[in-house]
Structure 1
Amino acid sequence: MIMDGLYYLAGLMLIAGALFSLVAALGILRLPDFYSRMHAASKAGAVGSGLALLAIALVSFDAAVILRALLGIVFFMLTAPISAHLFARAAYIAGYRPAGGFALDEMNERPDAN
């Protein structure tokens, strides 16, 4: 009976992970600029992948698979925000500006240029 509950919970995690991945894909398609798209892909994509890996770890009874899944989650959660930040900084330096414009541009080196 407990095993059935674990399988149902893993199924719900897989569905939630798939929904987060769908939101990330829709964000990439629908959002207006590079920065918004990158934010959707890095945050929702990492959470969706993390939930799928957690579901795998939950139903697996092999310690090696569980360890790899948990290490994969840690890897996603550590690398997604850092890589998104570096991509955003590189895009800004290359000249890509946000679509809507912002009242405050903290990366602008000349504060009087706004």
Structure 2
Amino acid sequence: MDIPALIVEILSWASIVVGSFLMIVSGIGMLRFPDFWSRTHAASVGDSGGMILLILGMCLQSGLTLITVKLIIMGIFLIITGPTATHAVANAALVTGWRPKTAADLEPETGVPYSDLPEPTVRGQ
């Protein structure tokens, strides 16, 4: 195997491995993150980055063939539809009233969200 072919082989497998890692981390993030907004962010970033690297690795593996053209068309389609779908879901959540928690929602002394604090009680009642 000559040197340029070896370099292409190494780059293709490296991008496939890194893309797969990003997709797995994205899936774990969807399970582990606490709220809708964090999960949406993990899914969007991880899937977009992982998909680009996976398709790049597959294009390098297939060489200059019709398969590469199909992979590029599929990649362009996914690059457009993935973030668009994520935006649509996040916008629908905003419209229905889900708001992300901000620093203004935290109690200044403890850093705990107001909604998680116990209700104050009045003695004698």
Other-structure match for 1:112 = none
CA distance in 1, matches of 2:55, 2:89: 25
Other-structure match for 1:9 = 11
The structure whose residues are more often helix, as a share, is: 1
The gaps in structure 1 that reach 5 residues or longer are: 105-114
TM-score, normalization: structure 2? 0.73
Give runs of ≥4 in structure 1 deviating > 4 Å. none
Would you say 1:55 and 2:67 are equivalent positions?
A: no
CA distance in 1, matches of 2:15, 2:78: 17
Tell me by how many angstroms 1:95 deviates: 2.9
The higher radius of gyration belongs to 2
CA distance in 1, matches of 2:86, 2:71: 22
Q: Tell whether the 8 Å contact from 1:27 to 1:37 is kept in structure 2 after alignment.
A: yes
By relative contact order (CA 8 Å, sep 6+), the higher-ranking structure is: 1
Identify which of 50, 73, 76 aligns with 1:74: 76
How far does the alpha carbon of each residue in 1:13-52 deviate from its partner, in whole angstroms, 9 at most, with x for none? 0111011112211210111111111111111111101111
Q: Percent identity?
A: 30
Tell me by how many angstroms 1:90 deviates: 0.6
SS in 1 for 2:99: coil
Paired positions, count: 103
Change (3 A) 1:90 1:12: same
Would you say 1:24 and 2:26 are equivalent positions?
A: yes
Other-structure match for 2:120 = none
Identify which of 99, 106, 116 aligns with 1:97: 99
CA distance in 1, matches of 2:103, 2:84: 23
SS in 2 for 1:28: helix
Tell me by how many angstroms 1:79 deviates: 1.6
Q: Tell whether the 8 Å contact from 1:43 to 1:80 is kept in structure 2 after alignment.
A: no
Tell me by how many angstroms 1:62 deviates: 4.9
